[in-house]
Amino acid sequence: MKKKFIEKLKTGLTKEEFLKYISELYPDFSFENAVDFLKFQGLPLTVQDDIVILKTAITPYDEFEYCVVDIEVNNSKPNIGQVIEIGAVKIKNLKIVDTFEFLIYAKDVPKYVERVTGINQEMLKNEASQKEILRKFRLFLGESVFVAHAADFDYNFLAHQFEKENLGEILNRFLCTLTLSQKTLEAERYGLKYLMEELKLPEETHHRALGDAKTTARIFLMCLENLPDNIITTEDLIEFAAPTKNKCKKKKNKN
């Protein structure tokens, strides 16, 4: 999806402007079909007074829904590897409300992956295919903001797998807790395991998808306690968490 189109949606497009952009990609779609199609792929759109706008641009960050995600893979190169485990935590109104966890069938799990994750091929032999689990994940993810620690890897790897499995795109807005924590939490290091220990969070199994997703979710909620006062909307939060923007001093913990 073109960045220019997304940027325009932050302030809103008329129906005519929206169709002009979308017709370049989907020339046969009606306005309603285009909106529904993009929403199904995770783009959080709403139509108000004939203006199409991102929900993240008008919804307070503490009222939006977030999906905190972690994956384990059998090869870090997405054109070669696949997901072998996916875990996710749903956050709504700043509370954890649901979880998602699946192992995924794979023909091969290299020994180095088994050593790191504890996942071996025997554990996966009777599990569902990546395509089947990614279909389920699409429904769980919905229009939530995709959240992960070092999010570029998880988001881009999954996006590649969705396209490889002919499941369309992932168009969800996303943010990274690694960069967000660097701007809101005081720590010597910002790796996931280190933050779990530094912040005295409940211990979870490291390098297992749901355990790491739970740790990331707790870190994310702690980060939100220390946001600057000018962060109002969900889109404000996404932009603040971006790695090259808003490099300001951390706000002291309110607790």
Residues 6+ apart with CB under 8 A from 80: none
By the 8 A CB rule, do 104 and 127 touch?
yes
Rounded Cα distance between 208 and 214, Å, is 10
Rounded Cα distance between 29 and 41, Å, is 15
Q: How much is the pLDDT for 245?
A: 46
What does the angle CA 46 – CA 230 – CA 12 come to, to the nearest 5 degrees? 25
Position 253 pLDDT exceeds 50: no
> What are the CA-CA distances from residue 39 to residues 54, 143, 219 (Å)?
10, 7, 28
Q: How much is the pLDDT for 25?
A: 83
Residue 244: pLDDT band with limits 50, 70, 90: low
By the 8 A CB rule, do 55 and 44 touch?
yes
What is the chain's alpha carbon radius of gyration, rounded to the nearest angstrom?
19
- Could you read off the pLDDT of 115-174 as tens digits, one per residue? 999 999 999 999 999 999 999 999 999 999 999 999 999 999 999 999 999 999 999 999
Superfamily (CATH) of domain 61-241 = Ribonuclease H-like superfamily/Ribonuclease H (3.30.420.10)
- Could you read off the pLDDT of 11-36 as tens digits, one per residue? 999 999 999 999 888 889 999 999 99
By the 8 A CB rule, do 52 and 15 touch?
yes
Position 254 pLDDT exceeds 60: no
Find, among 202, 235, 196, the residue nearest to 219 by Cα. 196
Secondary structure (H, E, C), 57-112: HCCEHHHCEEEEEEEEECCCCCCCCCEEEEEEEEEECCEEEEEEEEECCCCCCCHH
Position 248 pLDDT exceeds 70: no
User: Per-residue DSSP letters for 17-32?
Assistant: HHHHHHHTT-TT--HH
- Report residue 65 as tokens: 């829904």
State in Å, rounded, how far the first CA of the chain is from the last one.
40
Rounded Cα distance between 224 and 221, Å, is 5
Residues 6+ apart with CB under 8 A from 198: 187, 188, 189
Residue 86: pLDDT band with limits 50, 70, 90: very high
Position 246 pLDDT exceeds 90: no
Find, among 76, 49, 100, 127, the residue nearest to 217 by Cα. 100
Report domain extents, the chain: 3-57, 61-241
Position 1 pLDDT exceeds 70: no
- Could you read off the pLDDT of 172-213 as tens digits, one per residue? 999 999 999 999 999 999 999 999 999 999 999 889 999 999
**Global confidence as pTM:** 0.93
List the 51-54 sheet strands across, edge first: 13-14, 51-54, 45-48
